[in-house]
Structure 1
Amino acid sequence: MTMLREATGGAHEAVDAAFGAHDLATPAAYRRFLLAHGRAVPAAERVMAALPFARTLPTRAALLASDLTAMGVASPDPLPFAPGDDEATLWGVLYVVEGSRLGGVLLARQVAPELPGRYLGAIHASGQWRAIRAALDEAAAGKDDDWTARMIAGALATFTLYAAAAGAS
């Protein structure tokens, strides 16, 4: 997993900067933040669901839709997302989607208490991130450079999806 973090660090920082520009304490900015996530998360979760391990994890698209409804807006259409459906690519997608859940914990602290917070409040269960990291490492163990490159490409494609969603808000 260290390799994945190092290979995607620049893309991760760009997405963090794009979403970090929102002042989540204000309703208008928080609404834009949720709409941007609404363009990415359902598409990424749908792709990731082809991976059996991913189906053991709770999804957040419905929570996001609920928060958008509570903010008085409909869920946007997800952006097109078709990074590939091979196992390596799907593990890369999972890495980004589940990693974003960790970032959500920090962002949730910025949300005003009167605003809906189901989506950002959907944290990993105790030990779940550790299990995800172990599953990622196990999936990549002993694989060749091509497999690793496809996993990295899946992660980068997912960061690109999130960046495009942030830019569309």
Structure 2
Amino acid sequence: MSLRSVLRAQTADCHAEVDKLFGTFDLSITGQYRTFLRAHARVVPSIEHALEAAGIVRLLSDWPERKRTQQLFADIRELGDRLPELLPPPALHGEAALWGTLYVLEGSKLGGALLARSVPDHLPSRYLTPQAPKGAMRTFMDRLDASGVDDSAAISAARGIFDLFLKAGQLELEAVP
């Protein structure tokens, strides 16, 4: 079984929880869209920084084109909001943790593309519609499957990233009056 299939199966429950939570946001309503972006801004920069500190560019030379923090920050600023406090970055030890983490981040781009359809044209949506190099997802999935890393360590890292997204969403929802 491919690593992507193992990760999909072993993180399905976490993925469903995150989808359920973030599915409560109506992205056509500016305030809810802003809250949605703020939740992502609590974790995406920390995760991307942790990946860089752990040497992600060794695994994916096109990493700089895959990052989305700047698009996320630009969207939040355009909405006239301040950036939220970041959650602590995940501890990423070993190549398997990098691949598990990337599995969640890269997968979120697919979900983002679907969610972007709900965002009205007058709202910024750079974060949900990043301009990735052609074939970037296929390249990622091929490299993921060819990585040969320990499944359990990749699964553990992916579950941890899903948990970070869940925590960030809950924090932002609690802050809404």
The answer to whether the Cα contact below 8 Å between 2:49 and 2:89 also exists between their aligned partners in 1 is: no
Q: Secondary structure at the match of 1:84?
A: coil
Question: Comparing 90-99 with 125-134, which one deviates more in the overlay?
Answer: 125-134
- Deviation at 1:13? 0.8
2:175 — aligned with what? Answer: none
2:89 and 2:60 mapped to 1: Cα distance? Answer: 17
User: Letter of the aligned partner of 2:119 in structure 1?
Assistant: V
CA gap 1:62/1:41 in 2 versus in 1, 3 angstroms:
same
Question: Comparing 76-85 with 58-67, which one deviates more in the overlay?
Answer: 76-85
1:40 — aligned with what? Answer: 43
- Deviation at 1:84? 2.5
2:131 and 2:29 mapped to 1: Cα distance? Answer: 22
Is 1:83 the equivalent of 2:86? Answer: no
1:93 — aligned with what? Answer: 101
Query: How many pairs does the alignment contain?
Result: 164
2:129 and 2:80 mapped to 1: Cα distance? Answer: 19
1:97 and 1:83 mapped to 2: Cα distance? Answer: 15
1:26 — aligned with what? Answer: 29
Mapping for residues 1-169 of structure 1, pairs under 5 Å: 1-49=4-52, 50-51=55-56, 52-57=58-63, 58=65, 59-140=67-148, 143=149, 147-169=150-172
Point out where structure 1 has 5 or more consecutive residues left out of the alignment.
none
Give the TM-score normalised by structure 1: 0.92
- Deviation at 1:53? 2.5
Percentage identity across aligned positions? 37
The answer to whether the Cα contact below 8 Å between 2:6 and 2:151 also exists between their aligned partners in 1 is: no
Question: Comparing 18-27 with 118-127, which one deviates more in the overlay?
Answer: 118-127
Give the TM-score normalised by structure 2: 0.88
The answer to whether the Cα contact below 8 Å between 2:41 and 2:84 also exists between their aligned partners in 1 is: yes
The answer to whether the Cα contact below 8 Å between 1:105 and 1:121 also exists between their aligned partners in 2 is: yes
The answer to whether the Cα contact below 8 Å between 2:43 and 2:87 also exists between their aligned partners in 1 is: yes
2:71 and 2:95 mapped to 1: Cα distance? Answer: 27
2:166 and 2:26 mapped to 1: Cα distance? Answer: 17
Q: Secondary structure at the match of 1:40?
A: helix
